[in-house]
Chains A and B, each alone.
Chain A
Amino acid sequence: MLMHALANLALHPLLAVAEHGAEHAPAQPAGAPELPNIITLLSHRFHDVPFIAFLHHWENVIYAFTVAIIISIVAWAATRRRTLLPGKLQNFLEMVVEGLDNFIAGILGPEGRKYTPFLGSLFIYIWCMNMFGLIPGMMSPTGGKNGINTTAGLAICVFLYVQYSGLRKQGVVGYVDHLMGNPRSVVQWCLVPLNLPIHIIGELAKPLSLSLRLFGNITGEDVLLAAFVGLGIAATAFLHSPVGLPLHIPFIFLALLTGTIQALVFTLLSTVYFSMMIAEHHHEEEHAH
């Protein structure tokens, strides 16, 4: 019975959508089950239309822009008529922004509040993208086949901004000094050839680990959901019923938890990278005095 159900799993039309999509891009690895979204369904139905093929090719970008547009519209609607006694939406957004501001100021100190616009939007954007995949017909731009491009883009933004603010804060000499491990004694100067490559590789490894962590978590969560949806359909396949068992419901709660934690972790680690780049020089001066 179970073996029969598992054999049906690969043949079922719902999962065949994912496999069909993979046929058009032979370079992509097939296999991992994916929940269908509006674009893959359209591409399954009209795969000869060039516009649909274009949509299918850029689906991560399209969904990422959709999320950004939704966030922008909500923010615009909330701040259109600002009042001293805020309405529901303005109240909620003020609570979110204030919470993020205090959270970041708690790590970076009061002068770190100027990084709140960047880090806070990062958190809200990533959280919304992670949650977007749980809406039927939508997908998480951070997960799926090409999700690594979205997360790598975000991580590269963080990397560039961290390096820029380090250069801005410490100056070129202080920045190179930081990369050499702040050599002050003869022994420390002798260790510079060892320290410099280690620090440079460490800086380059940060965006890599940031992007891979977010991508791996969200993709794993999406694949888990898709696998259990497929199992739920396969369980009732012998009845030829179009509706399956909702076996994936417990994993939706898991996905809510993972999505929130990963958005928080991405923001938290970016904040810590900022604090490492900015606060280091500060501490040195304090010790010198």
Chain B
Amino acid sequence: MDYQTALSLALPFGLALAAIGSAFGLGKAVAAAMDAMGRQPEAAGKIQTGMIIGAALIEALTIYALVAFFILQGRIGS
């Protein structure tokens, strides 16, 4: 197996794994935030701000995988 085959097999799998991880993380964070908002609607603004910060930090990990994907994509060749 040459490295092009290895890359074209591994890159989508790696990206999918990163997406699964951050999907679980985002699901937990958003579910907890929605719970808190339902319990205390008057604090919804503050909870939402915190949720967006947390979601951005979780999502960043997937984006790093995506950036690595973009960088290595050129190596696959055509």
Q: Interface residues, chain A, CB within 8 Å of chain B?
A: 10, 28-32, 106-107, 209, 212-213, 215-217, 219-220, 261, 264-265, 268-269, 272
Contact = CB atoms under 8 A, between A and B. Distances in A.
Contacts of A31: 73-74, 76, 78
Given A30-B74, A32-B73, A216 B67 contact: yes
Given A29-B73, A209-B60, A268-B49, 7 more contacts: A213-B56, A213-B60, A213-B63, A220-B66, A261-B52, A265-B53, A269-B56
> Interface on chain B toward A: helix, strand, loop, or mixed SS?
helix
B52 A264 contact: yes
A284 to B, nearest CB: 22
Contact of B64 (A29, A216, A264): A216
Contacts of B67: 212, 215-216
Contacts of A28: 74
Q: Is the interface of A mostly helix, strand, loop or mixed?
A: helix
Contacts of A209: 60
B78 A29 contact: no
A265 B52 contact: yes
8 contacts: A10-B78, A29-B70, A29-B71, A216-B66, A219-B70, A265-B52, A269-B56, A272-B53
A29 B68 CA distance: 12
A215 B67 CA distance: 8
Nearest to A210: B60
Contacts of A219: 66, 70
B70 A32 contact: yes
A209 B45 CA distance: 25
Contacts of A212: 60, 63-64, 67
A269 B53 contact: yes
B42 to A, nearest CB: 14
B43 to A, nearest CB: 12
A216 B15 CA distance: 13
Interface in B8-41: none
